[in-house]
């Protein structure tokens, strides 16, 4: 009888404990979902083990190669205006239930101001999760003259970037321009073979007439590297619909920025860069700014290399491992407990602000969809070309897109 009572009591305690902790599970899962390496074991079909033996998040790796010769101002404007739209489109994607990391690299080619010895090409960023550096690179681009060596710049991206070795990751190069694909000292067929050997698809975006792109080798190049061929009118201006929620979203973004705690030798510089990119987007349109803010609250916007809140949350650094001089002035005179409480306070504030932005962004999405339904269908652009190709590759690798 006594054993039965003890057993019943044990069951009651365990059940109560599970029910009591259940509300915390979504938060725990959300935090785990943001880690680069997740210390969990999933079913065998969901495991992606890296060299360290931990479960690694899948990746979407994109290298964007832009023609910056004299006629390509419209192309650059589209790329700047649509970066955050692309990020948002894939921010809720999953592979086997796990949200991927996004890494983006940017190259320019065909600009006469670049060195001939480098094939008139230049890498602006390697594959990086710091999307503000990508935005900064796009806004820095200018056009000038040009010999457009497509094979050369593709070969550079294939050989120079740190591509994943995992078959399940999306690895894609997008090259956009309008001159014949056959120019330069590196044959594009050679570059395409090199890309395929690393599991990298190369999609081509011809800025001009579709049939002219076919005649100039853009379609053939894409076929050789397992990518897609698309043509766009690069001179079409990107329109950002302004919604009733945009003003409040911008206000919340200012509060969001106040929750970042820059650390390390480059922390303040990167915090300043974040605000600069905010200003550039806001200067174009309140609608573009709203898209950027939505991207900033997504799991694809990574700041742990310079922001203490993100770094502590994803476990990439321990607070007591940071030298006092690498902390912001406000934290340097605090003791260990005060520093921990300070970071925790910023995290709590950020979570609350993100939820407000998330709610407003959902309402904004409904409003924009209703307005777009009343307008003519949008013409193909950089973002639609990227989206189409990524989806084509991802669906063959168990990615699920919203």
Mind giving me the DSSP string for 291-342? Answer: HHHHHHTSTT---TTTBHHHHHHTTS--GGGS-GGGS-HHHHT--HHHHHHH
Above 90 in pLDDT, residue 365?
A: yes
Question: Per the structure block, which two tokens stand in for 245?
Answer: 């929620």
DSSP E strand boundaries for 71-225 = 94-95, 101-109, 121-128, 170-177, 201-207
Give the mean pLDDT of 275-283. 97
Hey, is 122 helix, strand or coil? Answer: strand
Instruction: Enumerate residues 6+ apart whose C-beta is below 8 A from 111.
Output: 68, 69, 120, 122, 142, 143, 144, 145, 146
Quote the pLDDT of residue 393: 86
Q: What is the Cα–Cα distance from 67 to 217, expressed in whole angstroms?
A: 16
Q: What is the pTM of this model?
A: 0.84
Q: Are 252 and 353 in contact (CB under 8 A)?
A: yes
Above 90 in pLDDT, residue 60?
A: yes
Tell how far CA 184 is from the center of its chain: 31
pLDDT in tens, 297-311: 999 999 999 999 999
pLDDT in tens, 155-211: 999 999 999 999 999 999 999 999 999 999 999 999 999 999 999 999 999 999 999
Instruction: Enumerate residues 6+ apart whose C-beta is below 8 A from 274.
Output: 132, 257, 260, 303
Neighbours of 380 (CB within 10 A): 16
Mean pLDDT (the chain) is 87
Above 60 in pLDDT, residue 10?
A: no
Q: How far is CA 241 from CA 77, 93, 169, 174, 282, in A?
A: 17, 24, 33, 27, 13
Domain ranges of the chain: 55-236+379-400, 246-372
Above 80 in pLDDT, residue 21?
A: no
Give the helix/strand (H/E) hosting 31. Answer: helix 25-33
Domain 55-236+379-400, CATH 3.40.50.2300 — does that match? no
Q: What is the Cα–Cα distance from 310 to 318, expressed in whole angstroms?
A: 12
Quote the pLDDT of residue 55: 57
Give the helix/strand (H/E) hosting 64. Answer: strand 59-67
Q: Are 183 and 91 in contact (CB under 8 A)?
A: no
Above 50 in pLDDT, residue 293?
A: yes
């Amino acid at each position: 009888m006594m054993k039965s009572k003890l057993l019943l009591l044990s069951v009651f305690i365990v059940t109560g404990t599970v029910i009591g902790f259940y509300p915390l599970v979504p938060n725990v899962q959300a935090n785990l979902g943001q880690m680069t390496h997740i210390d969990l074991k999933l079913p065998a079909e969901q495991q992606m083990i890296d060299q360290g033996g931990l479960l690694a998040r899948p990746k979407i790796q994109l290298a964007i190669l832009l023609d910056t010769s004299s006629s390509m101002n419209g192309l650059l404007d589209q790329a700047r205006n649509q970066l955050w739209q692309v990020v948002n489109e894939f921010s809720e994607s999953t592979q086997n239930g796990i949200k991927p990391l996004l890494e983006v690299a940017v190259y320019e080619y065909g600009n006469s101001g670049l060195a001939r010895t480098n094939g008139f090409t230049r890498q602006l960023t390697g594959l990086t999760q710091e999307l503000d550096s990508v935005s900064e690179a796009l806004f820095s681009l200018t056009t000038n003259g040009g010999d457009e060596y497509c094979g050369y710049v593709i070969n550079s991206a294939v050989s120079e970037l740190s591509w994943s070795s995992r078959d399940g990751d999306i690895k894609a190069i997008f090259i956009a321009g309008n001159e014949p694909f056959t120019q330069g000292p590196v044959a594009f067929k050679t570059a395409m073979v090199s890309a395929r050997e690393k599991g990298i698809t190369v999609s081509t975006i011809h800025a001009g007439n579709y049939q002219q792109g076919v005649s100039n080798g853009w379609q053939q190049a894409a076929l050789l590297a397992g990518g897609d061929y698309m043509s766009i009118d690069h001179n079409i201006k990107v329109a950002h619909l302004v919604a009733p929620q945009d003003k409040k979203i911008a206000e919340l973004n200012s509060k969001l920025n106040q929750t970042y705690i820059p650390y390390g030798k480059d922390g303040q510089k990167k915090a300043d860069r974040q605000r600069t990119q905010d200003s550039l987007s806001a200067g174009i349109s309140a609608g573009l700014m709203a898209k950027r803010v939505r991207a900033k609250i997504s799991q694809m916007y990574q700041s742990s290399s310079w922001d203490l809140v993100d770094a502590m949350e994803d476990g990439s650094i321990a607070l007591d491992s940071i030298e006092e001089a690498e902390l912001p002035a406000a934290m340097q005179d605090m003791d260990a407990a005060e520093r921990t409480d300070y970071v925790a306070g910023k995290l709590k504030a950020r979570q609350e602000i993100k939820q407000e932005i998330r709610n407003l962004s959902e309402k904004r999405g409904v409003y924009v969809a209703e307005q777009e339904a009343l307008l003519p269908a949008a013409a193909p652009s950089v973002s639609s070309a990227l989206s189409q190709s990524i989806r084509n590759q991802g669906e063959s690798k168990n990615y699920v897109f919203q």
